[in-house]
Amino acid sequence: MYALPRAGANATLCAVAPTVGTRFDVIAFDGDDTLWHNERLFVEAQSQFRALLSAFHAPEWIDARLAEAERRNLPHFGYGIKGFALSMIETAIDLTEERIESRDIRRILDIVRGMLSADVELLDHAAETVAAVAATHRVMLITKGDLHDQERKVEQSGLGRHFGSVEVVSEKNPATYAGLLRRHGIIAERFLMVGNSLRSDVLPVLEIGGSAVHIPYELTWDHEVADPPPAGHPGFHSIPGIALLPALLDGIEAG
């Protein structure tokens, strides 16, 4: 877990004083596929990887073996593009029975470099929504993945100035969230997480007594798929787009 204070703010989340009457002391945002596009890079990379191995196996088999490698390697390589790269190389070696040529390994590395250098593309209305929420609440970013890549995304997104703290974590589970809240002196009942992943951004936060807003994204990695909480679950909210967040917060806090 790494805390990355941003310029103009600090890790103790003191940039904005709580507004009288607000229910939440802190609003936290996920980054990938909540504020900026991410999964589409992996989908395109996997398409290129599938084409690279098309002479050896059917597309469905390649996808299944790569997914297995990713799940197997998460405890070792963690989340993010670099771990994905190693899983692609391992899968390529296995599926070609170690016959893959060095030029094809280089092609995989080129695919990965393209992912790591891709421009950060914000989701529609993400910038103005974060700015609006930051004007009335303390805000932070909680994201998982490779530290260097996530720091690059925050910098290029132009959103870093709004966050009192940027937390890059290795996993998003109840223990991680509880530790973050404890370190920042945040009461769970006054914390709200906003993200696209039920598994990472919603369920663990609800488990520790916080609130969460689910904003579905057009693509979902299989590893992040989970069943939503039952209707009426305390603290759970869902909206179709991030532009609706300020109005949702107003409604919750009014009542």
Q: Quote the CA–CA distance of 118 and 39 in Å, as a whole number.
A: 12
pLDDT given at position 22 = 54
Mean pLDDT across the stretch 92-103? 95
| Other CB atoms within 10 Å distance of the CB of residue 66 | 22
Residue closest to 183 by CA, chosen among 7, 15, 8, 26 = 26
The arithmetic mean of pLDDT across residues 31-43, rounded, is 95
What band does 237 get if pLDDT is binned at 50, 70 and 90?
A: very high
Q: Domain ranges in the chain?
A: 2-36+123-254, 39-116
Contact call for residues 217 and 39 (beta carbons, < 8 A)? yes
Whole-number average pLDDT of the chain: 89
pLDDT in tens, 48-72: 999 999 999 999 999 999 999 999 9
* pLDDT band at 152; cut points 50, 70, 90: very high
Q: How far is the C-alpha of 101 from the C-alpha of 147, rounded, in Å?
A: 31
- Global pTM reads 0.87
Quickly state the pLDDT bin for 232 (edges 50, 70, 90): confident
Q: What is the mean pLDDT of residues 144-169?
A: 94
Distance set, CA 121 to CA 33, 108, 117, 241 (Å):
10, 23, 12, 16
Specify the range with the lowest mean pLDDT, choosing from 20-34, 105-119, 147-161, 228-242: 20-34
The CATH topology of domain 2-36+123-254 is Rossmann fold (3.40.50)
Digit-coded pLDDT (tens) for 211-226? 999 999 887 777 777 8
Asked if 35 and 128 count as a contact pair (C-beta separation under 8 A), the reply is no
* Assigned CATH class of 39-116: mainly alpha
At 162, the pLDDT band (50, 70, 90 cuts) reads very high
DSSP state of 244: G
The per-residue DSSP string of 44-84 comes to HHHHHHHHHTTTTS-HHHHHHHHHHHHHHHHHHH-SSHHHH
